[in-house]
Every structure is written in structure tokens, then in C-alpha cells.
Structure 1
Amino acid sequence: MTYERRSAEKAIVLALREMGGSGSRKEIRRLIADNGYDGFTQEDVYSTVTSSRSGKDYCPFMFDFCFSLKNLYAAGMVQALFRGKDVELTQQGINFDLSTYRTKEQDEAVAKYWEEHAKSQKKKTELSKSSNDETVAQTDDETVSDELADQDEADDAWKTELLNAIKKFSPAKFERFSRMLVTEMGVKMDKSIGVSLSGDHGLDGFGYFQSDDFRTSRVAIQCKRYDTANVGEAQIRDFIGSMYLQKAEYGIFITTSYFTPQARAMAVQGDRPVTLIDGQALTDLIEKYQLKIHPVTTYKLDDYYYEED
């Protein structure tokens, strides 16, 4: 299903309210996707398309997300926005009746904000041309040139590329990769269970985790490399069954796609909890443990440098 562009303002406010009034952009998007705020689905929030002009993948929702954050700021619903800082609701954002959002006054404030923004962008373009800098071609769905760069300071751009690369792994390579990641997370992998093809009850890995108090737990691992299909309740139920057979205290289920709400509910039932790692969480863990990646530092000028006195 093709994502239809629309405002994410109400969804953002609902997510922030659940988090107590503030949270990172990443946390906001995850809550919107997981809880379906204002009708958004996992696919809406995280799916990507390929630009016919640049040939690069991008997430259409991110444009709406960035626009909506700025609209909320202009409407007085969130505090001033800064890169790398949490988004925080104002008192108005905490108490405002969303059924009446936006008012005429808020519409006027938003329009004024974008009028000033357009002036700033025009000056940026003029300075860029005068210094013979290369300009970035807009993608098919872009409406302002800086929105793609605002994807959490290009964080989502490289993670989209990373996840797409992982989705092209063979099933065997993805299993090996998942075991490598879990090893980095502190699990000592068993060399036979989940590696050999018989007697492992369908597991993709099995290991042992020692906590700080020297308590060792048995960990079962399952991984599914999917492109678009979600992991459902039945797959989690089957995995829990395998955990019982191997006497695992808890499990880790890794996928390149998403888990359905029913799957998430099943994962925390009973006495064998399952930690769910979807595609977004997978790229976060790869970043955390620097697994087969290396950081590159770059900088982007704030609007301050282009504003008139």
C-alpha cells in the first residue's frame, strides 16, 4: 500500500503525552508506529521508496514528520526545536483539546512561520549559487529542499541504506549476522544448538547470558529476514514452544520487518518473555555496537547563518 502524505501533528502530540511531555524524535516515531496514533501504521512510519531522480531510498513519512514538528512549534504546541535534543510539549501542548486543533490563530502562526522559512531558504540558495556549491536535487516527493537533511541529522538516511542491504542477505547469512550481533550484546553462543540442522527445534541460535550478579540464563534466538511481511502472533507462539523444549528462560526474535500488535502481546505473555528486535531496533543496535560500520562526521549550518538582522 502506498503511503499517503498527511499531517502527523496530532500523532506527535499523542506520543509525547504518553512519554510524559518530552522525548526524542526516534522515540516519538516508534510510539506512533507501535500504537497506531491518528491511524498511522508501522508501514506508514518506516516504509521507503526509491527516488526516480536520485536513485536513493527515502522515507516519505519523514517529510511529514519534520513538517509537523515545525508546525507544532509555530502553533505553540512544542518548545523550540534543536538538533539532537528531545522534543518537549509546551503547557498548551499538554492541555490543548486536539479535537479543535488547529485554530484560526494557529493556522495564521503556522503560515507566518513558513513565510519566514521561505525567505531564509531563498537566501541559502542565493549564497550557495554565489559560492558555486553543488545543490542537492529534490526527490519526487520533496516540497522543500532541506527536509531530507532534517531526518535526524541524516541518521535515517544511512540506516535506511543499511536495512535495505541486510534485507538482501541470504537466509543463512542473516542467521550468522544475527548470532554475531547477539554475541556483541553479551550472549555466549552455543556452537551446536541453532547452528546444526537437526535437534534444535527450529531455533536459529542458542546461548547463555551471565548477568552482573553472575546468574546465567539460557537464551533462544530466532531470526526472520523479511522484506515487507510482518512477524505475526503464530510465529511468536511457535518460537515460545521451541524455547520450552530447549528450557530457555527468555528469547530474542530478530526481524528486518515489523511485529504485529498481536505478536507484541504474545511476546510478553507467560513465563518465557521474548525480546523483539524489529528492523528499526536492529539498525540502532548495529550503531550501538559499531557492527561492521564506521562513523563519518559532517556538519550542517543552522538557519542562524542565513537570517537577516
Structure 2
Amino acid sequence: MAEYKRRRVEKAILMALRDLGGSASRKVIRKMIADNQYDNLTYNDVFLTKQGKNGSYSPFMFDFNFGIRNLASIAMVEQLQRGKDVVLTSAGMHVDLTSFPTKRQQKKMDDYWQERSGLRKKRLAKQQISATSSVTADESDKEDTDNSNWKAELINQLMKFDPGKFESFSRLLISKMGVLIDKNRGIVRSGDHGIDGFGYFTSDEFRTSRVAIQCKRYSDNAVSEPEIDKFKGVMDGFNAEYGIFITTSHFTSNAKQKATQGSNTVTLIDGQALADLVEKYELHITPITTYTLDDYYYQDN
């Protein structure tokens, strides 16, 4: 299992935002960084999970949250708002990344954290809350981190499934997405015919398509082009118009290109997209509703 080494990620965030048009959610920024390996950050760096006392967590999130707030402190991104996209400023769009951060920029970042630490101590004293609370997390950071952590735990558990259970899980998810699984042809083990499921999808125009399903439980390894090519060959044997390839890891760039070539295209679902779909369809998860106080209650007099 690869290890993540703590590092600065401000450059990668700026590069991602520039290519995303200047505005994106935190989740989309992380995915963009991972897919394009900005500033030498790999997919495994961004989405590596570790087991802590309270469950799984992503080490990258610490550096990511620091980076976002550092950029806000020097006006490279607009003032952060809870639940809103991160928005690049004109300064962030045009700053020279070869010398970033400059000594002056670094001094402003350090001053921001020093001031923030002082305000937090005053707030903790007023509320008589333990001073062990993190000085790095505001409510937006916490929500984003909590969401990332339970999805990291989900992927870790999926990787512990035996092949049969993971294939069954994948078929269940695909059926929730509107694919009618063929009970005769659709429940075949991968060792039999090279696919893990088969079914039918009817679009809004009442056009029914044949769908082949493939799933792989990987940790560090990415799904490569030859695996997509092999799957497409099996799809032809089932006369499938398109396929769905699910993995707990991710896909190489060549695999992504191969998936869209030819007449029988393949929809790729990596670990992060998989977790998002589990959330969307609430597949064996329990939503929890809670409340947090916004900044109105913490304005200093």
C-alpha cells in the first residue's frame, strides 16, 4: 500500500481551478487534481485512505483544507462560503506559479493562521470547550472532510468483499440506476463468461439497449487499456450496445480513451464515482441529519 507524504497543494488547486474555468466544488477540484496529476500529485495521493481510531480517513484532506484556506488568505480565491463553490480570483488566475508562494505571500499566510489561532483560543475560552479542537477546520472544511471520510470507509469495506458479494453489490447498484438485470444471462460469475452482469436499459425515448457489466476490486492498481479492450471483446459476444465497468480504484488515461472508441462504448465508474452513486441512491446507508451554527453566532464584538 502506497503512503502519502504531507506536502503543499496550493499550486495543484490553482491549476485545477484554472482548467475548470475558475469555479468548482471541493470534490470536483480534488478529482481534477487526481485525474491530471497536477504538481505531481497522483490519484493514489489524493484518494489514499488510512485507518484511524475513528474509522477511515484521507490524509490528503488535511493538506487540501490548509491549501484552500491559504489561498483565501492571500486572495487567490474568493472568500469561502459554506456549501458554495471555490471561486478563483483574477489574482489567482494570473499568479506566477513558478515562484509561488513568494516570501511576501507566505508571510500573509502565516499571519492569517496566527490571527485565526488567537481568535479560536478566545472563542474556546468563552464557550469552555476543550482546546484540542483543530484550528484548521471551519464548518465547510468539516462537512467536506466528514463526507470524504465515510466514503473512504465505504471503499475500504468494498475492497474486503469476496468476489461474489462485490459482483452482487455492483448488480444491485446498476439496477438502482435503471438497468433491468436479466436473471438468466445477467447473473454469471466473471470466471464463466468474462462479465459480471447483463441487463437492459430503456431510455426516455423507449429505446432498449443491452448492457454488459464488469467490476474489479483493486486497491492501488488502476484499470488499464487491455482490460477495457478485453471487456469490449466480451461485450461483442453478448451483442451489448454499451458496457459499465466498475472499480474501487481508478482508470488509466489510455483506458479512458479506449472506453469511448468504437461503437460499443463503456461507462467507467471509479471508486469516487462509486461512492457518489451509493450516496445518491442511499444504497445500504443511513442518512444523518444534524445542525451546525453559522458565523452569525461567532462574530467577535
- Fold match (TM-score > 0.5): yes
Corresponding residue to 2:223 among 231, 242, 255: 231
Residue 122 (structure 1) aligned with residue 114 (structure 2):
no
Match of 1:13 in 2: 14
Residue 244 (structure 1) aligned with residue 236 (structure 2):
yes
For residues 231 and 57 of structure 1, the distance between their equivalents in structure 2, rounded to whole angstroms, comes to 23
Match of 1:64 in 2: 63
For residues 110 and 189 of structure 2, the distance between their equivalents in structure 1, rounded to whole angstroms, comes to 62
Deviations 1:192-247 (A, max 9, x none): 22413599631101111111111111111001122333212221111111111111
Q: 1:76 touches 1:90 (CA, 8 Å); kept in 2?
A: yes
AA aligned opposite 1:298: T
Q: 1:193 touches 1:200 (CA, 8 Å); kept in 2?
A: no
AA aligned opposite 2:151: K
For residues 49 and 122 of structure 2, the distance between their equivalents in structure 1, rounded to whole angstroms, comes to 31
State the 1:126 CA deviation.
2.7
Q: 2:173 touches 2:278 (CA, 8 Å); kept in 1?
A: yes
For residues 200 and 189 of structure 1, the distance between their equivalents in structure 2, rounded to whole angstroms, comes to 17
Identity %: 52
Corresponding residue to 2:259 among 257, 264, 267: 267
State the 1:291 CA deviation.
1.0
For residues 171 and 241 of structure 1, the distance between their equivalents in structure 2, rounded to whole angstroms, comes to 22
Structure 2 residue matching 1:154: 3-state secondary structure: helix
Match of 1:23 in 2: 24
Match of 2:300 in 1: 308
Structure 1 residue matching 2:168: 3-state secondary structure: helix
Any gaps of 5 or more consecutive residues in structure 1? none
For residues 222 and 136 of structure 1, the distance between their equivalents in structure 2, rounded to whole angstroms, comes to 49
For residues 275 and 19 of structure 2, the distance between their equivalents in structure 1, rounded to whole angstroms, comes to 24
State the 1:144 CA deviation.
4.3
TM-score (norm 1): 0.89
For residues 99 and 280 of structure 1, the distance between their equivalents in structure 2, rounded to whole angstroms, comes to 31
TM-score (norm 2): 0.91
For residues 235 and 18 of structure 1, the distance between their equivalents in structure 2, rounded to whole angstroms, comes to 29
Q: 1:40 to 1:147 in 2, by over 3 A?
A: farther
Match of 1:146 in 2: 137
Any gaps of 5 or more consecutive residues in structure 2? none
State the 1:120 CA deviation.
2.4
Q: How does 1:67-216 map to 2 (within 5 A)?
A: 67-128=66-127, 130=128, 144=135, 146=137, 150=142, 152=144, 154-197=146-189, 201-216=193-208
Q: 1:14 touches 1:37 (CA, 8 Å); kept in 2?
A: yes
AA aligned opposite 1:98: L
For residues 162 and 106 of structure 2, the distance between their equivalents in structure 1, rounded to whole angstroms, comes to 50
Q: 1:120 touches 1:303 (CA, 8 Å); kept in 2?
A: no
State the 1:156 CA deviation.
0.9
Match of 1:36 in 2: 37
State the 1:295 CA deviation.
0.9
AA aligned opposite 1:196: V
For residues 198 and 49 of structure 1, the distance between their equivalents in structure 2, rounded to whole angstroms, comes to 30
Moved over 3 A (4+): 135-138, 143-149, 196-200, 300-307
Residue-pair matches, total: 299
Structure 2 residue matching 1:152: 3-state secondary structure: helix
